[in-house]
Amino acid sequence: MLAGTNLSKSYSSGKVLENVSIQIAPGQICGLLGRNGAGKSTLFKILCRLIKPDTGTVHVYTACPKPIGGIIEKPGLYPYLSAADNLKIFAGIQKIATDATSINQHLIKVGLPLDRKDPVRNFSMGMKQRLGIAIALLNNPEYLVLDEPFSGLDPIGVASLIQLILQLSAEENIGILLSSHLMAELSKCCHFLYVIDKGKIVNAGTTNQMIHAHIQRYSITAKNIAKAQIIRKYQPIMGINDVKITCPADEISAVLQTLFQEGFAVTACTPELTLEQLIENPVS
């Protein structure tokens, strides 16, 4: 297990972290939600041993020679080199194999093509993130820390990166901690969520707990949805082919079933949950 206990950190500008405790188990995906400036990057740097906390401790219960790999803020790549050459440099620094077969295996693990020989400055942001993850995974760490990995990605890139994160967790049993300021991204891949605000953990729980406790509004898309009878009891706000309703989480399944019985083909049902809700209303 990777665990940070009672971590605090201050700079001349003020306190950045205050008594923060967090833990990640092997194979578990944990999300850290917080506004910009909430302390996410500072916490990640402490966990990766890049800076020391003023108080508190970090423990990694493993015999692995490289227990933690990570990307803090953005991948540190050599833009004028190819993906393979970037990996060769970082592999050499860590004194591991740099032959073509080994390098190709690292590229394959993160879903990067083997035929790209051009500089990585030509890569999409999603491909750069994958290469950064490949570098972080050199020497087979048991834990992976990713700071805002979805930043700058389009929806297809986000979905693709989520699949990679799920794969690494399930197939490699890697414990993964990733941060974002957007709930939608983390809710699709995280088992557990921490919410940080002004340097303090203000909410924590399983993703299902968070959703069940906080989601009260859903956006439902279906042709002619405004004609549905069931939605009228849920304070509907009508769109053209969608409606927003205020509905407890434990009732939404019954609403969708009734819509089906009324003859409406629902094409999407999207829960709406904001970071502000999680900050202001801790799970009891």
- Rounded to whole angstroms, how far apart are CA atoms 24 and 142? 11
pLDDT tens readout for residues 60-100: 887 777 889 888 877 889 999 999 999 999 999 889 999 99
Give the pLDDT score at 282. Answer: 66
- What is the model's pTM? 0.81
pLDDT tens readout for residues 226-257: 888 999 989 899 887 789 998 887 888 899 99
Token pair recorded at residue 66: 């490289």
| Beta bridge partners of residue 33, listed in sequence order | 180, 195
The amino acid present at 241, given as its one-letter code, is N
| Beta bridge partners of residue 266, listed in sequence order | 222
Domains of the chain by start residue, with CATH: 2-211 (3.40.50.300), 215-280 (3.30.70)
- Element at 255 (helix H, strand E): helix 252-261
Q: Do residues 9 and 51 lie in contact, with contact meaning Cβ atoms separated by under 8 Å?
A: yes
Give the pLDDT score at 211. Answer: 76
Ordered alpha helix ranges (H), 27-122: 40-47, 83-93, 100-109
CA 170 to chain centre: 15
Burial of 195 (0-12, 13-18, 19+ CB in 10 A): buried
Give the pLDDT score at 118. Answer: 94
143-146 vs 68-71, strand pairing mode = parallel
- Rounded to whole angstroms, how far apart are CA atoms 8 and 254? 46
Please choose, from the candidates 40, 266, 231, 63, the residue with its C-alpha nearest in 3D space to the C-alpha of residue 146: 40
- Rounded to whole angstroms, how far apart are CA atoms 284 and 282? 6
What is residue 58's three-state secondary structure? strand
For each of the chain's 284 residues, which pLDDT tens digit applies?
Answer: 899 999 999 998 889 999 999 999 999 999 999 888 889 999 999 998 899 999 999 998 877 778 898 888 778 899 999 999 999 999 998 899 999 999 999 999 998 999 999 999 999 888 998 999 999 999 889 999 999 888 888 888 888 889 989 999 999 899 999 998 877 788 888 999 999 999 999 999 898 888 777 777 888 999 888 888 999 989 899 887 789 998 887 888 899 999 999 999 899 888 777 777 788 776 55
Q: Do residues 192 and 168 lie in contact, with contact meaning Cβ atoms separated by under 8 Å?
A: no
Token pair recorded at residue 142: 């048991």
| Beta bridge partners of residue 238, listed in sequence order | 243
Give the pLDDT score at 192. Answer: 94
Q: Do residues 138 and 94 lie in contact, with contact meaning Cβ atoms separated by under 8 Å?
A: yes
